[in-house]
Amino acid sequence: MLLVLLMIVAWRVDPAFVSWEAQSLLASHLWETAIMAVPMTLVILIGGIDLSVGAILAVSAVALGLAFQHGLPPYAAAILSVIIGAFLGLANGWLITGLRAQPLIITLATLAAYRGIAEGISLAKPNSGFPATFLAFGSSSFAAIAFVVLAGTAAFILAKTPTGRAIYVMGHNETVARFSRLPVDRIKLILYGSSGAAAGLAGAIMVARRNTAKADLGAGIELDVITAVVLGGVSINGGKGGIFGLVLGLFLVHETREFVSWRWQKDEVVLIVIGLLLILSVLLQRSKTEDG
């Protein structure tokens, strides 16, 4: 956490980079990542992981496109996509709790399955031509509000409610949580469900922003989401971290992106730097805890 702060300060100090327009305008792509990263933080806190968010995003987006094509009003279609996302997320949760299986494997499976469904129902054809009223969803301000509301709620739950306490306990030791009669399975269901719902919401936003709905939307975005969460100091093994860290992590990813592309004018370098950042931050965290 300290490390993350330090790095941000370092960027702040770099005088050439303080162009406030660039600072205030967060890339829209980041907002979608940010929205999905909030429930992902909670999922990783309980020691789980959700690899299927990108695929859920695609299913929701494709369904939204089809629903719109069949005459559903755009707002109803957007709500539908959130519901579909929640449903697919619940399916993840149900499989994980029902089979007592590792979330990595289950969501790896549903990553493939959901992406296949998106391809199957859309026949890989894009849908576009949404009305202007719907495209308003794609504005940064809507996404920003959604993120702030989600992050605020999550932070509140973690700090102030029994559910938040239960989430940390589950991350440290799930058996202990079960023996303490905490509603372990219900919390899992809800968290995977909300992860799906957030992916559905991000799907609607992405469709509105790009004015097109197709099956390959959000491919690989799950890795961006997880990267932001881990960069925010959330332990991949669960139990440690919080929403404040996540915000810093997102900020860090964004700053890095902006800074690197401003400096080198190349997106490829951004990928390399973010990958390095991810490995280095965990590496430094490790060496710090081992010293102490």
Partner 1 sequence: MHDPTLIAIQQITKFYGGVTALGAVSFEIAKGEVHALCGENGAGKSTLNKILSGSLLPDSGEITVENRPLPMGSVQACQDRGISIVHQESTAFLHLNAIDNIFVGRELTAPGWGFFRKLSLPFARNEQGGGVGWGFFLDRRQMERKTRELMLRLGESLPIDVPLLNLTTAQRQMVSIARALARDCRLLIMDEPTSSLSAKESAALFRIVRQLRSEGVSILWVTHRLDEVFELADRVTVLRDGKYVGTRSIGELDRAELIRMMVGREMATITARESNPAEIALTVKGLSGPAFQDVNLTVRAGEIVALAGLVGAGRSELARAIAGIDSYDAGTIEAEGRAISYVPEDRQHQGLALPMSIRENLTLSVLPRIAPRHLLIRARENQVAQQYMQELDIRADSTARPVESLSGGNQQKVLLGKWLATDPQILILDEPTRGIDVGAKAEIHRHIRALADRGVAILLISSEMPEVLDLADRIIVLREGQVAGELSRSEATQEKLLALSLPDESAEQKAVQSKEPIVDRLARQREIGVGALVALTLIVVSLVNPRFLSIENLRDLLINAAPIAIAACGMTLVILAREIDISIGSLMGLSAAIMGIIASPTRMGGSVPLSIALALATGLSIGLLNGALVAVGRVPSIIVTLGMLTILRGGTDLLMRGQWITDIPPGLRVLGTGSVLGVPISLWTAAICLICTGWLLARTALGRRIVALGSNPQAAVYAGISPTRIRLFVFACSGLLTAIATLVSVTRLSTIESGIGVGFELLVVTCVVVGGTSIRGGQGSVLGSFFGTLLLGSVATMLIFLRLGEMSTYWERAIQGAFILAAVMMDNLARRRAKS
Q: For binding to partner 1 (CB under 8 A), which residues are involved? A: 49, 95, 99-102, 104-106, 108-117, 119-120, 123-124, 160-166, 168-169, 172-173, 175-182, 219-220, 223, 226-227, 230, 236-237, 239, 266-272, 274-279, 282-283, 286, 290
Q: How far is the CB of 80 from partner 1 (least distance, A)?
A: 20
By beta-carbon proximity to partner 1, the closer residue of 71 and 220 is 220
By beta-carbon proximity to partner 1, the closer residue of 34 and 205 is 34
Whole-angstrom Cα distance, residue 57 to residue 24? 26
Whole-angstrom Cα distance, residue 16 to residue 262? 10
Q: How far is the CB of 24 from partner 1 (least distance, A)?
A: 26
Whole-angstrom Cα distance, residue 212 to residue 3? 39
By beta-carbon proximity to partner 1, the closer residue of 14 and 267 is 267
By beta-carbon proximity to partner 1, the closer residue of 75 and 156 is 156
Phi, psi of 25 (to 5 degrees): -90, 90
Whole-angstrom Cα distance, residue 199 to residue 82? 8
Output the six-digit token pair for 12.
């702040």
Q: How far is the CB of 133 from partner 1 (least distance, A)?
A: 31
By beta-carbon proximity to partner 1, the closer residue of 114 and 251 is 114
By beta-carbon proximity to partner 1, the closer residue of 75 and 179 is 179
Whole-angstrom Cα distance, residue 145 to residue 149? 6
Whole-angstrom Cα distance, residue 18 to residue 4? 18
Q: Quick one: which of 55, 53, 59, 56 has its CA closest to 39?
A: 53
Q: How far is the CB of 87 from partner 1 (least distance, A)?
A: 16
Whole-angstrom Cα distance, residue 77 to residue 80? 5
Q: How far is the CB of 82 from partner 1 (least distance, A)?
A: 22
By beta-carbon proximity to partner 1, the closer residue of 45 and 205 is 45
SS3 state of residue 128: strand
Q: How far is the CB of 143 from partner 1 (least distance, A)?
A: 23
Q: How far is the CB of 142 from partner 1 (least distance, A)?
A: 28
Tell whether the torsion through CA atoms of 177, 179, 183 and 185 is positive or negative: positive
SS (H, E, C) 51-74: CCHHHHHHHHHHHHHHHHHCCCCH
